[in-house]
Amino acid sequence: MTELLTAAQMRAIEQAAIAAGEVTGLELMERAGQGVVAAIFEQWPELDADLGCQAGEAAPRPQVSPRGISGQKMGGEASRRAVVLCGPGNNGGDGFVVARLLKERGWDVEVFLYGPPDRLPPDAKVNYERWRAIGRVIEWTAQQVGEEAADLFVDAIFGAGLKRAPACEILEPLTKLYTEGKTFARMVAIDAPTGLCMDSGRALCPEFGAVWSWLTVTFHRPRIGHFIDEGPSYCGAMRTVDIGLGGHDWGEAARQAVADLHRLEKGRGMGRVVATLMSPELVSPYLGKETDEHKYTYGHALVLSGGHGRSGAARLAARGALRIGAGLVTVGAPRAAMIENACQLTAIMLRQMDGADELRTLLQDSRLNAVCLGPGLGLDADREGLVLEALQANRATVLDADALTQFEDRAEALFEVLHENCVITPHGGEFARLFPDLAEKLNAPATTGPVYSKVDATREAAKRAGCVVLFKGPDTVIAAPNGLCSVNSAHYDRSAPWLATAGSGDVLAGVITGLMARGLDPMQAAETAAYIHVECALNFGPGLIAEDLPEQIPAVLRKLDIF
Ligand SMILES: NC(=O)C1=CN([C@@H]2O[C@H](COP(=O)(O)OP(=O)(O)OC[C@H]3O[C@@H](n4cnc5c(N)ncnc54)[C@H](O)[C@@H]3O)[C@@H](O)[C@H]2O)[C@@H](O)CC1
Ligand SMILES: [K+]
C-alpha cells in the first residue's frame, strides 16, 4: 500500500528518525543524493557510461541546438555535463551531493547557488563545503542560468520547504531554458519541481508556474502533490527512493510525531493525515463468485433511465453493473423510453417506471438492493422526486450527473437526505454546483503554501454530504465522512487519456452500483470501481469509447487474479 504524505508529515517522520538516533540528517541527505543519481541512470541509461575522466578534469562542452543537446561523443573521449541548481535549504544540500557524485563519475558539473552560502542549514552547508573542495559554486544570476547548456539539469532549488512563489529571477531563466528547448533533454527535480506545492499539486507562481521536469525523484513515500492537480504534469516521471526511513518502523518518537500531526490536522477538521494511492492490493478481494451461490447472492441493481432519446447513459451504467458481477440488473424506464430500451437490452431486465410513486412500489421488492440515478436522467421537475424517493428507500445509492445537478441551488436539501450508504460522483462542474464554497477555495489563486487541495476539498465535501464523495478527474479523489481518503491516479504509468470520452462516467457510476449491490461498502465500492475503470481504459487503449469499458472488465478481473 502506498500512502501519500503531506510535506509536514514527511518532515515529522525525518525529524523523529533523527531524534531517535536511527539516522543523521547528513546520512539521509547522502542517501537522497545517491538515490537521485541512481534514478537518473535508471531513467536515462544512455548517460550511464564510464567517462574515463578524473574528478576535476575539464571536459568539452556539448553543443546546444534549439532541439536539445548534440555532439557528445562516447567512449574514452566522451563528456557529460550537468548543471546543478541549488537553493538555500536542504533541497540545495541534496543538490550538492548529486553534483559531487556526478563529478566522481567523471562528469563536468556546474553548480549555481541561489542565496548566500553562510545561510545554508547545517547539513546543506557540510555538503556545500564538500563540493567546494572539488568544484566551484557560481552565484545565481538569472542571465547566466538562462544561458546554460547541459546533458542534464538538476533542480535542487526548493523542495518541501517552499513557502511562497519563487522569485521571477529563479523561474524565468528556467522557463527560458525550457522554451528554448535546452531542457528538453533532461531536467530532474529533487523531491519536487521548484514552485510546486507538495500538498496540493498546485504551482505557486501565477506567472511562471513551476519547473517543468522530465523526472522527479522523491524520498521514502510520495507526497499528495505528486499525484493530484498540476503535480503530475510538472513532475514528468516519478520515482520514489528508499532512504532508510523504514516502513512504519520509525520508533516511538516518530509515532508520537505523526500522532501529534494527526491531532493537529483533526483539529482543522481534516480527518486522517494520509491519503492512499489506489493500487491492485486495495481492490476489494471479494469480487469473485462461488460455485454454490445463485444470482440473488450478488444483489439486484436498479438503474433509472432518462426519457425518450436519453436512455443510452443508463444502459451504459447498467452494463457496467452487470459486468462487475451484480446478480441481476434492471433498467427502470419511463413509458416514453421503453421501446428504445427494449430494443437494446438483453441480459439486463427492463421495467416501466413512471415517477416517484411507481419507484416506491418497485422498491417494495427488498431484493432490489442498489440504485443508480443520474446518467441521462434529465432535469425535468419530476426527477427530483425520484431522487428523494430513492434516498428514502434507504438502499445503497449512487447519484451521478443530473441527479446532482438537480440540486444545484439547494444542495442542503440533498445533504439532508443523503445517507451513509450513498456515493456521489461529481466531476469538477458538478462539485462546484454542490459545494460552491469549497470549489472557490480550491480554485482560488494560490501563492503561499500549503495550498488547499483536491484532497482537502473532497474530504470536507464528504463530511458535509454525510456520504462517500468520488471527485472525478485524472486524479480522482475518493473520501468518506470519517476522513478516509484515497487517490486513484490516471497519471504516469497509468495515464489513460482515452477515458475523456462521452459516457465513461456513466459506466463508472454503474460499476459502483454493481459493487454495492454485491455488498461492498460505499468507500470500497467507489475505490475499487475507480481503479478498475482506469484499468479497463488501459487494457483497451486508444480509440476507446464508453461501450468498450464494461467489455474490458472480464480481462481486468482476470489480470487482478479474480475468478
Ligand atoms: N536532513 C533532512 O532534513 C533531509 C532533507 N531532505 C531534502 O530537504 C528538503 C527540505 O529541506 P528544507 O526544509 O530546508 O526546504 P527547502 O530546501 O525546500 O527550502 C527551504 C528554504 O527556502 C526558503 N524559502 C521557501 N520558499 C521560498 C521562496 N519562495 N523564496 C525564497 N526562499 C524560500 C525557506 O525559508 C528555507 O530557508 C527536501 O525537499 C529534501 O530534498 C533530504 O535530503 C532528506 C534529508
Ligand atoms: K526541487
Residue 156 lies in a domain: yes
Closest C-alpha among 314, 278, 283 to residue 474: 278
The residues with which 302 forms a beta bridge, in sequence order, are: 330, 371
Domain harbouring 473, CATH code = 3.40.1190.20
The rounded Å distance from CA 489 to ligand 1 centre is: 27
Residues 235 and 328 placed together within one structural domain of the fold:
no
180 or 140: which carries more pLDDT confidence? Answer: 140
Q: Which of 208, 228, 247 marks a domain boundary?
A: 247
The rounded Å distance from CA 94 to ligand 1 centre is: 10
CA distance 188 to 152: 7
Residue 112 contacts residue 150 (beta carbons within 8 Å): no
Say yes or no to pLDDT of 156 above 80: yes
Residues 159 and 286 placed together within one structural domain of the fold:
no
Please name the residues in contact with 54: beta carbons below 8 A apart, sequence gap of 6 or more.
Answer: 106
Say yes or no to pLDDT of 76 above 50: no
Residues 201 and 60 placed together within one structural domain of the fold:
yes
Cα torsion 245, 247, 248, 251: sign = negative
Q: Is 159 in the pocket of ligand 1 (CB under 6 A)?
A: yes
Q: Is 219 in the pocket of ligand 1 (CB under 6 A)?
A: yes
Question: 62 falls in which pLDDT band (50, 70, 90)?
Answer: very low
Q: Which of 227, 247, 267 marks a domain boundary?
A: 247
> How many other CB atoms sit within 10 Å of the CB of residue 109?
27
503 grid coordinates: 459516457
What is the β-pairing status of strands 300-304 and 328-333? parallel
The total of structural domains in the chain comes to 2
Q: Give tens-digit pLDDT for 205-223.
A: 999 999 999 999 999 999 9
Say yes or no to pLDDT of 159 above 60: yes
Domain harbouring 149, CATH code = 3.40.50.10260
Please indicate if the annotation marks 476 as binding a ligand. yes
At residue 449, the pLDDT reads 86
Q: Which of 247, 267, 299 marks a domain boundary?
A: 247
Q: Is 166 in the pocket of ligand 1 (CB under 6 A)?
A: yes
CA distance 473 to 157: 30
Say yes or no to pLDDT of 410 above 60: yes
Distances (CA, A) of 535 to 23, 126, 359, 543, 550: 40, 47, 34, 15, 11
Q: Give tens-digit pLDDT for 497-517.
A: 999 999 999 999 999 999 999
The residues with which 70 forms a beta bridge, in sequence order, are: 63
Say yes or no to pLDDT of 168 above 80: yes
Question: Which atom, in ligand 1's list, is nearest to the CA of 123?
Answer: 1
Residues 304 and 173 placed together within one structural domain of the fold:
no
The residues with which 397 forms a beta bridge, in sequence order, are: 371, 422
CA distance 509 to 435: 20
% the chain with pLDDT above 70: 89
The rounded Å distance from CA 237 to ligand 2 centre is: 14
Question: 474 falls in which pLDDT band (50, 70, 90)?
Answer: very high
At residue 65, the pLDDT reads 35
Average pLDDT over residues 142-148: 91
Residues 183 and 312 placed together within one structural domain of the fold:
no
Question: Which atom, in ligand 1's list, is nearest to the CA of 10?
Answer: 38
At residue 66, the pLDDT reads 33
Residue 234 lies in a domain: yes
Residues 353 and 434 placed together within one structural domain of the fold:
yes
Average pLDDT over residues 9-15: 87
Distances (CA, A) of 552 to 324, 457, 520, 535, 546: 10, 32, 21, 8, 11
Question: 257 falls in which pLDDT band (50, 70, 90)?
Answer: low
Residues 366 and 488 placed together within one structural domain of the fold:
yes
232 or 273: which carries more pLDDT confidence? Answer: 232
CA distance 206 to 191: 21
Q: Is 225 in the pocket of ligand 1 (CB under 6 A)?
A: no
Residues 218 and 330 placed together within one structural domain of the fold:
no
Residue 14 lies in a domain: no
CA distance 79 to 356: 75
Distances (CA, A) of 244 to 23, 108, 253: 8, 30, 16
% the chain with pLDDT above 90: 77
Please report the DSSP string for 385-441 in residue order: HHHHHHHHTT-EEEE-HHHHHTTTT-HHHHHHH--TTEEE---HHHHHHH-HHHHHH
> Poorest-confidence range of 288-297, 311-320, 479-488?
288-297
Residues 237 and 288 placed together within one structural domain of the fold:
no
Q: Is 164 in the pocket of ligand 1 (CB under 6 A)?
A: yes
The residues with which 485 forms a beta bridge, in sequence order, are: 479
Question: 49 falls in which pLDDT band (50, 70, 90)?
Answer: confident
For ligand 1, pick from 18, 36, 90 the residue to mutate: most ligand atoms within 8 Å of CB: 90
At residue 185, the pLDDT reads 66
At residue 342, the pLDDT reads 98
Ligand 1, atom 28: nearest CA belongs to which residue?
166
Q: Give tens-digit pLDDT for 341-369.
A: 999 999 999 999 999 999 999 999 999 99
Q: What is the mean pLDDT of the chain?
A: 90
Please indicate if the annotation marks 402 as binding a ligand. no
Cis ω before 173 (30° cut-off from 0): no
User: Running DSSP on this structure, what letter comes out for residue 151?
Assistant: S
424 or 65: which carries more pLDDT confidence? Answer: 424
Residue 12 lies in a domain: no
Rg (CA), the chain: 27
Average pLDDT over residues 230-257: 77
> Poorest-confidence range of 1-10, 112-121, 307-316?
1-10
Residue 46 lies in a domain: yes
Q: Is 162 in the pocket of ligand 1 (CB under 6 A)?
A: yes
Please name the residues in contact with 111: beta carbons below 8 A apart, sequence gap of 6 or more.
Answer: 83, 84, 86, 95, 96, 99, 131, 135, 136, 137, 138
At residue 56, the pLDDT reads 42
Q: Is 449 in the pocket of ligand 1 (CB under 6 A)?
A: no
256 grid coordinates: 508520537
Residues 189 and 306 placed together within one structural domain of the fold:
no
Q: Give tens-digit pLDDT for 411-459.
A: 999 999 999 999 999 999 999 999 999 999 999 998 898 999 999 999 9
The rounded Å distance from CA 327 to ligand 2 centre is: 51
At residue 336, the pLDDT reads 96
Residue 267 lies in a domain: no
Please name the residues in contact with 321: beta carbons below 8 A apart, sequence gap of 6 or more.
Answer: 301, 303, 329, 370, 372, 510, 511, 513, 514, 517
Residues 286 and 203 placed together within one structural domain of the fold:
no
Distances (CA, A) of 381 to 20, 295, 356, 371, 398: 63, 36, 12, 20, 20
Highest mean pLDDT pick, 142-146, 447-451, 554-558: 554-558
Residue 20 lies in a domain: no
Please indicate if the annotation marks 514 as binding a ligand. no
Distances (CA, A) of 296 to 35, 190, 286, 291, 507: 53, 54, 16, 13, 22
Residue 7 lies in a domain: no
Residues 240 and 322 placed together within one structural domain of the fold:
no
Cα-Cα end-to-end distance for the chain: 22
Say yes or no to pLDDT of 67 above 60: no
Range of the domain at 285: 278-559
Count of all residues that appear for the chain in the document:
563
User: Running DSSP on this structure, what letter comes out for residue 187?
Assistant: E
Q: Is 251 in the pocket of ligand 1 (CB under 6 A)?
A: no
The rounded Å distance from CA 156 to ligand 2 centre is: 4
Average pLDDT over residues 470-495: 96
Q: Is 514 in the pocket of ligand 1 (CB under 6 A)?
A: no
62 or 194: which carries more pLDDT confidence? Answer: 194
CA distance 522 to 544: 27
CA distance 525 to 530: 8
Distances (CA, A) of 408 to 401, 429, 473: 11, 10, 20
Please indicate if the annotation marks 421 as binding a ligand. no
What is the β-pairing status of strands 368-373 and 2-4? unpaired
At residue 296, the pLDDT reads 80
